[in-house]
Structure formats: structure tokens, C-alpha cells
Amino acid sequence: MSDVRFTHIGGPTVLIEFDGWRLLTDPTFDPPGRTYGFGWGTSSRKLTGPALPAAGLGPVDAVLLTHDHHGDNLDVAGRLLLTAATTTITTSSGARRLGGTARGLKAGQSTRLEAPGRPAIEITATPCRHGPPLSRPITGDVIGFALTWPGQMHGPLWITGDTVYHRALHRAAAAIRPGTVLLHLGGVGFPLTGPLHYTMTARQAVRLCGAISPHTILPVHYEGWQHFRQGRDGIERDLRRAPQQVRARFHWLPTGSAEHLQL
């Protein structure tokens, strides 16, 4: 059994600590108020700042960066933090842009984190589609991460990354059989593209999680930015209509304080 400490800093940014490891997802530490361009005429304003400052974070062994080209997953302060982390694991295209110690993965590829006195972590990239069909040339490469290490009781930890529900995601999740899912939600949309979604809605998440039955579902990246169409209230409203066996598995992490979970 693994005792894992999760600290939700805001947006997609979570500090994950266990057995001496300190991993950070998608670092976003800029203050609120700035508008960030996402390309092709889309943009969004950051509405809330991080619950913890980057300066008080302490050492980070690895950054798990789902993609480097959108400011709500990697902002200016987050980029500075990358230089202090031992390594960054991200998309192949992102690793080429970042250089340095960045390791690039494509969906299905794996890498390992190893250090004396700590369990080795196997990290496998999972597929993401950050928008409707055929949107990849516009939205760019994105991956999620499945983390496996000795002692996990319920199965791997899966970080979905920014993605909508699609067949490749379902197939990957069924193969992983995750015990805990760090689930990117929010139903992202933009005025320019009308009703199209660029991340999962709660209804899509219920469909996915109902098929794979993880032990624990931890929603993240659903508020704090102008482009989210479904915040916590909307997610909870849809969850009330979901099957009890799925609804009961959702757990909201507090923002800014650590919570211990058994994985």
C-alpha cells in the first residue's frame, strides 16, 4: 500500500509526494489577471492565482508536463521552475522546444524515474486529443501519464492531461486499469469555436470512469480561467445524475493543503 500526499496548487498543478519522491504536474504559478493567447484567435484570462508560491515549493524531482504550449498548463513562472527540477517529462515536440533535461514521449512510450533508496517509477504516456476530431494541428501535441511503482494497492496513478473523451483514450484507460485518476475537466470552450469542447465535461468523465471503475477520481483543472465552461458547480450537478458507483468515487482535493490518500 502506498501513502501518497497530494497538494492541489491550482488549475492542473498538483504536487505528488511519496516514498521520497516529489513530482509536480503542469506548473502554473503566475498571478491572476493576464490574458494568454492559445493560437488561432483563441485566448483566456487567468482569474485566480496559485494557492502556494513557486518559491515555497521546495525541491522537485520531476515535472510531468502534459504540454508546454498553453499558458494554463505552463506559464512564465512555471517555465522558471523547470530549470530547477531534476527532469521534465513531456511530449516529444515539447522536449525539443524545452531542451535541457526534458524527456520526450509519445503516447504508448515509457520512461523510468530511479533514485537510490526510492522505488522506481514507470511512467507511460497516454493519448490525449485536446479538442474535436482533426484538431491536433491546431491544438498541438498533448499526453497524459500513467505512473506505476511497487506497493500500489488499487492500480496505477493516471493523470489524464487535457483531453476530450475519444476511443484511443478509452482503450488506453482500459489497458492501464488505473486505481486513481487525476482527471482534467472543465469543458473548455471559446466564443470563436462555438459549442466545441477542448477538455472533458463531467458527462464525458462519467462515461469514461464508468467503463474503467477506478478506486478514486480526483478532479483538477476545471476553474480559475475564463475559458472553462463547467466549473465545480456544473460538474457536481451532472454527477448527481450519474450512477452511484461512479459518483461515489469522485473526491475533491482541497486547494493549497496536502491530503494523504492510500494508493
User: What's the chain's average pLDDT?
Assistant: 96
**pLDDT (tens digit, 9 = 90+) per residue, 18-38?**
999 999 999 999 999 999 999
Residue 2 has a pLDDT of 80
pLDDT at 53 over 90: yes
Helix, strand, coil fractions of the chain, as percent rounded to 5: 20, 30, 50
| Interatomic CA distance for residues 11 and 50, integer angstroms | 8
Joined together, the cell numbers standing for residue 99 give 531542451
**pLDDT (tens digit, 9 = 90+) per residue, 57-72?**
999 999 999 999 999 9
Residue 41 has a pLDDT of 85
pLDDT at 234 over 80: yes
Report phi then psi at 201, rounded to 5. Answer: -90, 170
Residue 39 has a pLDDT of 84
Q: Give residue 138's Cα distance to chain centre.
A: 20
Residue 59 has a pLDDT of 95
DSSP 59-124: --SEEE-S-SSSTTTS-HHHHHHHTTSSEEEEEHHHHHHH-TTEEEE-TT-EEEE--TTS--EEEE
The structural domain count of the chain equals 1
pLDDT at 1 over 80: no
Residue 37 has a pLDDT of 94
CB 9 within 8 A of CB 256: yes
pLDDT at 74 over 80: yes
Residue 16 has a pLDDT of 98
Does the reported pTM lie above 0.75? yes
**pLDDT (tens digit, 9 = 90+) per residue, 103-156?**
999 999 999 999 999 999 999 999 999 999 999 999 999 999 999 999 999 999
**pLDDT (tens digit, 9 = 90+) per residue, 171-214?**
999 999 999 999 999 999 999 889 999 999 999 999 999 999 99
Domain that holds residue 166: 3-262
Which pLDDT band, with edges at 50, 70 and 90, does 40 fall under? Answer: confident
Q: What is the CATH number of the domain that holds 186?
A: 3.60.15.10
